[in-house]
Structure 1
C-alpha cells in the first residue's frame, strides 16, 4: 500500500513518466517532460511579466490564428489572443529590439481589435439610453430569415409558410411584440460579471493599439486607418462616461499618431464605421483640454500643438483658437511643471504658424505675465524656457502687439541683464519694440539697438 502510494506521488523510480496533456492555448511540445513542467511551475514571476520577449516568428506563424481568435468572441480564445498581443506589442522604453514585429500590418488585426472595443461600447450604456440600428445582412434575399423579418417580407396578410388564416387570427390576437425578435438584450442579457469581462477586454485591446502606435512601422498605417481614428476619437468624446484607462489609451494613441494625422480623413471616401466629423474631433480634444485630469489636459495640449503644424488641419482649429489660448494660459498658472511644459509647447507651435494666434495670444489677459514667470522661476527644463522666450519674440514681430508689449519693457530688460542664457532673445525683443521706424511710441534710434 505504501509502495503504491509512493508510486502515485513520486512516479516509478528509473522509469519514464507520461507527459501531462498540453494546456489550451499553448503550443504542443511545451510540456513534454516533467523537467519542463517543473521549470514552468517554479519559474520566477519576473519571467512572466510584460518584459518577456516573444520571438517574431510566433506572430508570423500564428497571425491568422490570432485574428480568428479575436473575431470568435469566445472568452478563452479572446483572452489568449489579447495576452499574446500584449506580449508581442510591449516594448521597454530603452529597448532597441530589432526584431519588433509591425503587428498592424497583419491583415485584419486592427479591425478585429477595434471590434472588441466596439462590442464593449455597444453595451456600455443601457439600451434605453442608446438605441442603435443593427443592419442584418444574413438572409437578406430570403423570405424567411429567422430574425423576424418574414412578417414584413410576406406582405400585408402576414401568412407564414404552412399557416392558415385562422392561425394568423390567433397570432395577431396575442400581445407579443415582434420587436422581441430584434432586441438582443432581451434574449442574451449580460450580467455584471459579463459586462466587467467585456470592459477588461476592451481596455486590453486599447492598450495593445496604444502599443502599436509607439512603433514607427505602424504610424503611417494607423494614421490612415479611419476605423482606428473614429474609435479613439469617440472614446475621447465620451470621456465623462467611458472607462478612464480606455480614454487614456485612446488619447495617447492619437497623440502618437498626430504628426501624420490629417483631419480631412473624416470627410474622405474611405469607409466609415462611426460618424465622426472634423468638428466633432476637435470638440472632443477641447473637452479633454478642459478636463481636470492632469494627464488628459496635458496630452490634449500636446495634441493640439502637433495638429496645428499640418496646414490642412488649420481651418478646423481656427474657430477654437480663442478657447485654446485661454485654456493654455490657465494651464501655465498651474504649479504642475508638466502642465506648464505642455502649454508652452502648444503655444510655441500655435504662434509660429498663424498670425491670428499671435494677435489673440498677446491680447489674452495674464498671458505675458505667465510666460515671463516660466522664464524667471525658471522651469527645470531649459527647452521650455527657451520656447517661452521664442513665443514672446514671435508676439513682438506683429506691429499690432507692440503697444501691449511695451508695458513689459522693464521686465524684458531685467531678464536681459540677469539671465545670460536668454539675453540674445530679449535683446532682439527690445530692439523690435523700440527701434522700428513704424513704431509711434519710441524714436527711430532705439535705446536697445544692436
Structure 2
C-alpha cells in the first residue's frame, strides 16, 4: 500500500535528543574499558544514535564534537582487531569472497567460525543478519591449553571472533557518522581516522568483507573534503600510510571484481580529483585509471557505468593531458557513445557522457581521431535526442576550424 509506506517498515526506535549529552562520558569509557558487557552496550547505543532512515531529517543527529574522545575510542577498537588479526608469520592468505553465497543474508565474516559459542556474544551486537543458526555446543580444549603459546595471555577462536565483530560494528558506526554533515570535516581532517580506514581497504584481499565495505563507504563520503597531503603532514601518525599507498589502496579497490567496491572506488576518484592538491598523487596512476574506468563502461551494470562516467567527467576537467590520454584510450569513445545511445536510465549520466565528448573535441590534437566518429555524432544529432545541441557543438568543433584541414575538406556542420 503506497499510501502508508511507513506502516510496512515496522516500528521505528526513537532516542531522546538529550541521551547523547547525558551519557557521552559513559559511552567513551565503556568503549575504552574493553569489558564485554560495557562494550556491547556502547556499540549498540552508538549504532542506534548514528542510524538514519532514508530521507529522514533529524535535528538531533549526534556529531562527534559532542562526544570528546569518541572517534579515537572507536578507532582503537578497529586497531586492536587489526593488531591481533595477523598470525605469527605476519602474512595472511587471500579470503574466499562468497558475498553471501549459500546464506540467507550477508553480514559479518565468519573467519574464525566461532559465532555459535556458548555465550552468544555474536548475537548481542546490533547487526542484522549476524545471528547463527548453528547448534550451541560446548567447546572442549585439551588439558594444558593455557600453557601453550596461544593460551593464557592470547585469545582463542571465540575471543578473536568477538574482537572481529566489535571492529566491524565500530566501522559501521564510523560509516554512519560519515553521512552526517557535522562530522565530515572533522573526520576528513583526522589523520588517525584516515589511516585506519585506508589500511582496511589496502588489505581488501585478507580483511573481513563488511569491514572493508564500511571503510570504503566512509572514505567515499569524506572524499570531497579529503586532502591526501595529510599523510605527510605534522599531525600525529599511528599507522604508516603515505599518499602513494593510499592511492594504491584505491586502485586495488577499483580493480576489484566486486561491483560494490569498484563502483565506490570510481566515485571516490571522481571526488578526490576535485581538490587540485590531490592531482599530483592521482595523475601518476592516470593510465591505469583511464583503462579501468573505460572497462567499467563496458559492463552491463548501469551503476558501474554511472560511476565511471562520473569519475571521467571530473577527470577531463583537470587539464589537457587528461583529455588527450582519455581520447587515446582504446574503446573510450565507442563506450561513451553507447551510454548516450542506449540510453542510460539516469538522464544526467547521458548528459555527462556527452559533455565528456565535447571536452575531448575541444583539444585540437583530438579532432583528427574523433572525425572517425562523425557519422555517429550526426546520427545522434538528427535523432531528436535531448543532447542534440551538445553534438551539434561537437560537430562544429570538428569540422569548422580553419586549422583543421581534414575537417574543412569533409565537414559542413559549421556552415
TM range (shorter): 0.7 to 0.9
Structure 1 residues 375-390: aligned runs within 5 Å: 375-390=340-355
How far off is 1:124 after superposition?
A: 1.2
How far off is 1:432 after superposition?
A: 0.3
Structure 1 residues 15-67: Cα deviation after superposition (integer angstroms, max 9, x where no partner): xxxxxxxxxxxxxxxxxxxxxxxxxxxxxx954xxx41211211101101100
- Specify every segment of 5 or more residues in structure 1 that has no aligned partner in the other structure, as ranges: 1-44, 132-182
Are residues 1:125 and 2:86 paired? yes
- Give the distance between the partners of 1:234 and 1:307, measured in 2 at CA: 18
CA contact (8 A) 2:253 2:261 kept: yes
- Give the distance between the partners of 1:442 and 1:394, measured in 2 at CA: 18
Are residues 1:74 and 2:74 paired? no
User: 1:445 and 1:436, CA in 2 relative to 1: closer, same or farther beyond 3 A?
Assistant: farther
- Give the distance between the partners of 2:403 and 2:151, measured in 1 at CA: 75
Cross-structure match for 2:327 = 362
Structure 2 residue aligned with 1:412, among 348, 360, 377?
Answer: 377
Structure 1 residue aligned with 2:173, among 200, 203, 208?
Answer: 208
Give secondary structure in 2 for the equivalent of 1:418.
coil
How far off is 1:449 after superposition?
A: 1.5
Q: Which runs of 4+ in 1 moved over 3 A?
A: 183-187
Q: Who wins on radius of gyration, i.e. which is larger?
A: 1
CA contact (8 A) 1:416 1:427 kept: yes
- Give the distance between the partners of 2:382 and 2:61, measured in 1 at CA: 51
How far off is 1:128 after superposition?
A: 2.7
CA contact (8 A) 2:184 2:222 kept: yes
How far off is 1:127 after superposition?
A: 2.7
Are residues 1:227 and 2:192 paired? yes
- Give the distance between the partners of 1:223 and 1:62, measured in 2 at CA: 26
Cross-structure match for 1:28 = none
Cross-structure match for 1:239 = 204
- Give the distance between the partners of 1:363 and 1:303, measured in 2 at CA: 23
Give secondary structure in 1 for the equivalent of 2:195.
helix
Are residues 1:284 and 2:249 paired? yes
CA contact (8 A) 1:252 1:299 kept: yes
CA contact (8 A) 1:436 1:444 kept: no
CA contact (8 A) 1:69 1:78 kept: yes
CA contact (8 A) 2:178 2:222 kept: yes
Give secondary structure in 1 for the equivalent of 2:288.
helix
How far off is 1:443 after superposition?
A: 2.0
CA contact (8 A) 1:389 1:426 kept: yes
TM-score by length of 2: 0.82
TM-score by length of 1: 0.76
Are residues 1:343 and 2:304 paired? no
- Specify every segment of 5 or more residues in structure 2 that has no aligned partner in the other structure, as ranges: 1-8, 93-147
CA contact (8 A) 2:371 2:407 kept: no
Structure 1 residues 50-449: aligned runs within 5 Å: 51-129=12-90, 187-443=152-408, 446-449=411-414
How far off is 1:275 after superposition?
A: 0.8
User: 1:330 and 1:104, CA in 2 relative to 1: closer, same or farther beyond 3 A?
Assistant: farther
CA contact (8 A) 1:53 1:88 kept: no
- Give the distance between the partners of 1:186 and 1:279, measured in 2 at CA: 39
- Root-mean-square deviation (CA), in Å? 1.8
- Give the distance between the partners of 2:366 and 2:411, measured in 1 at CA: 18
Question: Structure 1 residues 435-444 or 310-319, which shifts more?
Answer: 435-444
- Give the distance between the partners of 1:252 and 1:106, measured in 2 at CA: 22
How far off is 1:102 after superposition?
A: 1.1
Cross-structure match for 1:4 = none
